[in-house]
């Protein structure tokens, strides 16, 4: 490649390509958005039923109470045990995969 095209020429061509790509992106971004103006109706407007507001019932709720310490400890123990089990399963899968890869590649090298 050094005999056909110099590094300077290659860099210059790459720079031109980047510049043209940026110019194309800017030109595409300047065009007007298709939804910039509302469409004018060409026919009679659609008759819709009258808008009626929906009532909202407001009720009072109790203030937030922190869970008791036993529940918090149980949450920590449960999430930790799930993390340990999931980590052990993933480690086992990765270990078997790597062991299979090493055995296969070693057999290929022995041939």
pLDDT at residue 32, as a whole number: 60
Local structure of 35: helix, strand or coil: coil
96: tokens are 């078997």
pLDDT at residue 108, as a whole number: 86
- Name residues whose C-beta falls within 8 Å of residue 81's C-beta, 6 or more positions apart in sequence: none
**How far apart (Å, rounded) are the C-alpha atoms in residues 40 and 6?**
59
**How far apart (Å, rounded) are the C-alpha atoms in residues 95 and 89?**
10
109: tokens are 């090298």
pLDDT at residue 1, as a whole number: 46
pLDDT at residue 2, as a whole number: 47
pLDDT at residue 42, as a whole number: 72
- Name residues whose C-beta falls within 8 Å of residue 75's C-beta, 6 or more positions apart in sequence: 67
pLDDT at residue 111, as a whole number: 81
- Name residues whose C-beta falls within 8 Å of residue 67's C-beta, 6 or more positions apart in sequence: 75
pLDDT at residue 57, as a whole number: 87
- In this prediction, the residues of the chain whose per-residue pLDDT falls under 50 are 1-2
């Amino acid at each position: 490649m050094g005999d056909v095209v110099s590094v300077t020429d290659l860099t210059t061509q790459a720079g031109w390509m980047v510049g043209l790509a940026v110019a194309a992106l800017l030109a595409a971004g300047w065009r007007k958005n298709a939804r910039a103006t509302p469409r004018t109706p060409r026919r009679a407007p659609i008759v819709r039923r009258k808008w009626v507001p929906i009532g909202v019932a407001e009720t009072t709720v109790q203030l937030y109470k922190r869970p008791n310490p036993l529940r918090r400890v149980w949450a920590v123990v449960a999430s930790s045990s799930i993390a340990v089990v999931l980590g052990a399963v993933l480690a086992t899968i990765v270990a078997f995969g790597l062991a299979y890869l090493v055995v296969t590649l070693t057999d290929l090298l022995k041939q």
